[in-house]
Amino acid sequence: MWLTAFPEGEQVRAASFLALVFWRPIRFHRAARFLPADSEILAMRLSRYFMPILKEPPREAEIVSHRLMLRAGMMRQEAAGIYAFLPLGLRVLNKISDIVREEQNRSGAIELLMPTMQPADLWRESGRYDAYGKEMLRIKDRHERDMLFGPTNEEMITEIFRAYVRSYKDLPLNLYHIQWKFRDEVRPRFGLMRGREFLMKDAYSFDVDQAGAEHSYNKMFVAYLRTFARLGLKSIPMRADTGPIGGNLSHEFIILADTGESEVFCHKDFLDRATPPEDVNFDDRAALKTIFDTWTSQYAATSDMHDAAAFAQVPADKQVSARGIEVGHIFYFGTKYSEPMKAVVATGQGGDVPVHMGSYGIGPSRLVAAIIEASHDEAGIIWPEAVAPFKVGVLNLKQGDAATGAACEDLYRGLGAKGIDVLYDDTDKGAGAKFATADLIGLPYQVMVGPRGLAEGKVEVKNRKTGSKELMSPAAALDLLTR
C-alpha cells in the first residue's frame, strides 16, 4: 500500500529491497506454493527445519524425559532449571496449552493475561511477601522499588477482581491465564519436571458463598479430568494437603508413569473410569457433583496422604500401587485472600461479603515431560496424537531418486493441504537414520517411501505406538491419514 508513495522509478528499488529483506519467507512460500496459506505452518521439510537431534544424550540428563527432550532437539538448558524451547518442543507445548485452554473455556473460565513481574506491595497486603521465603525471586527496579517475578497470581487476580466487581450479580466468575512462573527452587532437577521457570495455567474462581465455590471447584475438577484425558493421560484425582497456598479442599491430579517421582496408591477402577463427555453441562450443579463424587469415592492417595489401613479395605485384586507425577492441583481456600485484600461484593440482602475463592493450576511445560515419562520406549518418544509436534512423518528412503521424491512431494502436499501436521524428511541421511529420527521424535504415523515398495505402487505406513506396519498405495495412505 505505502509503496504507491514512492515515485515511479523508486518502486522497483523498493520492491527489490523488500525482496531482500524478506528473502527467506519468500523462498519458503515459493517452495510451498501448492499449499493453502493456513497449512504452511503445519507442514515442514526437515532439511529446512531447526531440529538439532543428538545421537547421544548429554551427560547431565538423568531421567528419561529429560534425555529424550534433549536428544530430540526440543529444548536447551540455559541455567539450572531454566530452558529454552526449541521449535519441536514449542510445538508440543503449544498443543498442550491449546487443549488446556479449550477445556478451560468449555467450563466457562475466561482467559486474560497477567504480567510475570509484580509489585511487592500487593504481596505485602496478603502477608505472603514475608511468608513465601526464598523461593520467590525478588528484584529491585531502577527506582529501588521492590518487585518480584510471580510464582503464582492470587494477589494480582484479587486486585483485578476487587477493582471492578462489586455485586453478587457478576458472580460466579473464573479468570485464568497461561503464563510463565518463576520459583527459585532449592534444587531444580529432572529437566522440565522441576524447573525454576515454568509455564502454568492458573485459574481463579470467585463466588458469593461456599456452595457456589464448591460448584466452581467441581467445574475445574471436571475440566481437568477432560483435559488430561485429551492429552492421552490417565489421571487420578487424589486428596491433597493444601500447603502454603492454604484452604481446606484440595486435589492433586496424578498421572501414572513408571518413572514418576511419587508413590501412589489407588483403587483399580480409576484406570477404566469413563471421562466426562464433551457436552457435560457445567451449569448443572447436581450433575457435576455426581461426577465429583464418583471420582472421589474410592481410595486414592499419594504417599504423603497414604493411609495403609484404609487402603487395606480395598479388595486385594483392586489395589494398585504405582508411581505417579503430579500434573495439576486445585484448591478451594475460601476468603484467605479476599478478606485481607478486601475483595467484597454486595449480597443483595444488605451489606458486603468477602468472596470465596479457589485456584487451579496445570503446568503445560511439566506436562511435556510428564507425557514423555508416561509414553516412551527404547527408541524414543511415543506422542499421543493430540500433542504430537507433527502427526505424520514422510520419510524419503532414497533421497535423490526421482520416483521416491515425487511420491513424497505428493504425500507431503496432500497431507498439508488437508491441514495435517506433516514433517517431510527430505534430508540426505540414510534410511536407517531417518527411521531412528522419526522414532526418536515420536511421530505417531510414519510413511516410508522407498524404491522397493514403490516398484509395486506401495508405501509403508507405520504406527509408532503399536509398531505395526502396513503396505498400501500412496492414495490409500493419504486417505487413512486424513480421515
Partner RNA sequence: CGGGGCAUAGCGCAGUCUGGUAGCGCGUCUGGUUUGGGACCAGAAGGUCGCAGGUUCGAAUCCUGCUGCCCCGACCA
Provide the residue type at 477 as one letter.
A
Helix and strand element counts for the chain (H, E) = 15, 24
366 in contact with RNA (CB under 7 A): yes
- By C-alpha distance, which of 275, 159, 167, 182 is closest to 225? 275
Q: Pick one of 365, 383, 443, 478: the residue that binds RNA (CB under 7 A).
A: 365
Task: Find cell 467484597 and name the residue.
Answer: 344
Using the minimum distance from each CB to RNA, give the nearer residue, 191 or 354: 191
Q: Pick one of 248, 312, 452, 475: the residue that binds RNA (CB under 7 A).
A: 452
Q: Other C-beta atoms within 10 Å of 146: how many? A: 14
Interface segment toward RNA; rule CB under 7 A; list 160-168, 183-191, 281-289, 338-346? 183-191
**Sign of the torsion angle spanned by Cα atoms 260, 264, 267, 270:** negative
CB of 305 to RNA, least distance (A): 12
Using the minimum distance from each CB to RNA, give the nearer residue, 79 or 480: 79
CB of 395 to RNA, least distance (A): 9
Q: Pick one of 128, 201, 336, 462: the residue that binds RNA (CB under 7 A).
A: 462
**Contact map string, positions 402 to 431, toward RNA, x by CB under 7 A:** --------------------------xxxx
Residues 106-165 touching RNA, rule: CB under 7 A, are: none
Residues 273-312 touching RNA, rule: CB under 7 A, are: none
Distance in angstroms (rounded) separating the CA atoms of residues 307 and 409: 59
Quick one: cell of 442?
A: 515420536
Q: Pick one of 27, 140, 166, 469: the residue that binds RNA (CB under 7 A).
A: 469
Q: Are 251 and 221 in contact (CB under 8 A)?
A: yes
Distance in angstroms (rounded) separating the CA atoms of residues 68 and 376: 9
Distance in angstroms (rounded) separating the CA atoms of residues 424 and 408: 8
Number of residues that bind RNA (CB under 7 A): 70
Neighbour-count burial of 431, counting CB atoms closer than 10 A to its CB (0-12 exposed, 13-18 middle, 19+ buried): middle
- By C-alpha distance, which of 47, 50, 49 is closest to 76? 50
60 in contact with RNA (CB under 7 A): yes
Interface segment toward RNA; rule CB under 7 A; list 59-67, 117-125, 308-316, 347-355? 59-67
Q: Pick one of 435, 442, 443, 478: the residue that binds RNA (CB under 7 A).
A: 435
Using the minimum distance from each CB to RNA, give the nearer residue, 33 or 452: 452
Distance in angstroms (rounded) separating the CA atoms of residues 399 and 365: 36
CB of 172 to RNA, least distance (A): 23
Q: Pick one of 24, 30, 59, 142: the residue that binds RNA (CB under 7 A).
A: 59
Distance in angstroms (rounded) separating the CA atoms of residues 125 and 213: 23
Q: Are 411 and 477 in contact (CB under 8 A)?
A: yes
Using the minimum distance from each CB to RNA, give the nearer residue, 354 or 393: 393
CB of 266 to RNA, least distance (A): 17
Distance in angstroms (rounded) separating the CA atoms of residues 255 and 309: 23
**Contact map string, positions 321 to 340, toward RNA, x by CB under 7 A:** -----xxxx-----------
Distance in angstroms (rounded) separating the CA atoms of residues 466 and 361: 33
Q: Are 393 and 408 in contact (CB under 8 A)?
A: no
Provide the residue type at 264 as one letter.
V
Interface segment toward RNA; rule CB under 7 A; list 84-92, 154-162, 178-186, 204-212? 178-186
Q: What is the DSSP string of 60-71?
A: T--SHHHHHHHH
Using the minimum distance from each CB to RNA, give the nearer residue, 8 or 428: 428
Q: Pick one of 104, 227, 235, 399: the residue that binds RNA (CB under 7 A).
A: 399
Residues 228-247 touching RNA, rule: CB under 7 A, are: 243-245
Q: Pick one of 187, 277, 349, 468: the residue that binds RNA (CB under 7 A).
A: 187
**Residue 361 belongs to what H/E stretch?**
strand 356-362
Interface segment toward RNA; rule CB under 7 A; list 47-55, 87-95, 115-123, 268-276? 47-55
Neighbour-count burial of 351, counting CB atoms closer than 10 A to its CB (0-12 exposed, 13-18 middle, 19+ buried): exposed
Distance in angstroms (rounded) separating the CA atoms of residues 182 and 204: 18
Q: Other C-beta atoms within 10 Å of 30: how many? A: 8
263 in contact with RNA (CB under 7 A): no
CB of 190 to RNA, least distance (A): 5
In the complex, which residues of this chain contact RNA (CB under 7 A)? 53-60, 62-63, 66, 71, 77, 79-81, 183, 185-190, 192-196, 198, 200, 243-245, 252, 261, 326-329, 361, 363, 365-366, 379, 397-400, 428-433, 435-437, 439-440, 448-454, 459-460, 462, 469
